[in-house]
Structure 1
Amino acid sequence: MTFRHPGRVRRLVQTAGFARADNRTRANLELWQRSLAAGDRESFARIALLAGFIPGARYIELPGGHMVMGEQPQRWHAAVLDFVSASPTRC
């Protein structure tokens, strides 16, 4: 929906991974993995934000595994509410 009809999307919170990776996604994932392996979280955040070309995007990390919304529900919910409330409303 976001890529096909960006004008229809006001807010997006991606909490899970990708269903299917194309070549661009695989290249970005490799850059992300190298940044994280080197302990360069600042570069990782920049790559993650720029890879999506999403204005106003944010990157945050919460401790947890594959189901962070279930493992850290209060922290995840607070982060989502913070993002949604701080995002400008598009008309």
Structure 2
Amino acid sequence: MKYLSEHALKKPIGGIYIIAAPYWGAEDWNYEEYALREDVASKLPQESPIVLYHSRDDETVPFTHLALYAERLPQATVREFEDRGHQFKNNLVEVAEDIKKGEH
């Protein structure tokens, strides 16, 4: 997402689907080289869906990171899960369906 927000795209993309991603800049995750620019929402492709996925029982990335992304990306659709862990138990059915539909 950082790359997409900092570089002009030559071709349209089908969507941005982010799964259990750490929010760089959150407490204990402060890595400036990965942090998103302040105007990230306006710099991403506006015609492409953005979908954020995170499970409440993620053992690697705190669930609170999802809310940080949602705040910065108000145009994003948020999909919360209860018991998928960080690896989503290798079950990405909802992600695959969203990609196939190309919508959020």
TM over 0.5: no
- Where is the strand percentage greater, Structure 1 or Structure 2? 2
For normalisation by structure 1, the TM-score amounts to 0.44
For normalisation by structure 2, the TM-score amounts to 0.40
Task: Give the number of the structure with larger relative contact order, counting CA–CA contacts within 8 Å between residues 6 or more apart.
Answer: 2
Structure whose CA Rg is larger = 1
